[in-house]
Amino acid sequence: MSTMDNLKNAFAGESQANRKYLAFAKKADEEGLQQVAKLFRAAAEAETVHAHNHLRVMGGIKSTKENIQEAIGGETHEFTKMYPQMIEEAKKEGNKQALQSFEIASKVEKIHADLYQKALNNLGKNEAVDYYVCQVCGNTVEKAAPDKCPICGASKSMFTRIS
């Protein structure tokens, strides 16, 4: 295995650890274990530092225009190829929870690709736009949170404004 392969694997592992530890922190908070939650968040932040370092060394961070173009490609792959295959497999296996998770993610990835395309089209104009993310399904919207999420039906209160 080459050093580049090792960097890619390390980046993937550190990225997954970050997300996992944030999920663990959320659960610890729900259980009233704030100190453990704080430790999970600290470790998650450290894993982010490691992941960013690995990505930088791999040459994976380019100009913002190139980064947006890569993001469009990644999101498009997810909703056109990756998730449709996963959805079919979940249907075959009768795994309804996985099916729902994949279907929701696929819909949101399409929205992300569209938002990135809009950002690419407006690159350099620096127009202020607020984004809101549904904490139930990840739906991402511009300007204002809807009264009801069009993807999962969650109420407006479940949307978080992103700074």
What average pLDDT does this structure show over 85-112? 98
Residues 86 and 115 in one domain: yes
What average pLDDT does this structure show over 91-103? 98
Least confident of 24-28, 127-131, 138-142: 127-131
- Runs of H (alpha helix) within the chain: 3-30, 34-57, 64-77, 83-93, 96-121
Q: What is the pLDDT of residue 127?
A: 86
Residues 51 and 70 in one domain: no
Local confidence band at 126 (pLDDT 50, 70, 90 cut-offs): confident
> Nearest Cα to 86, choosing from 74, 101, 67?
101
What is the extent of the structural domain holding 95?
Answer: 63-127
Question: Which three-class secondary structure state does DSSP give residue 63?
Answer: coil
pTM of the model: 0.91
- Bridge partners, 134 (sequence order): 159
Residues 86 and 108 in one domain: yes
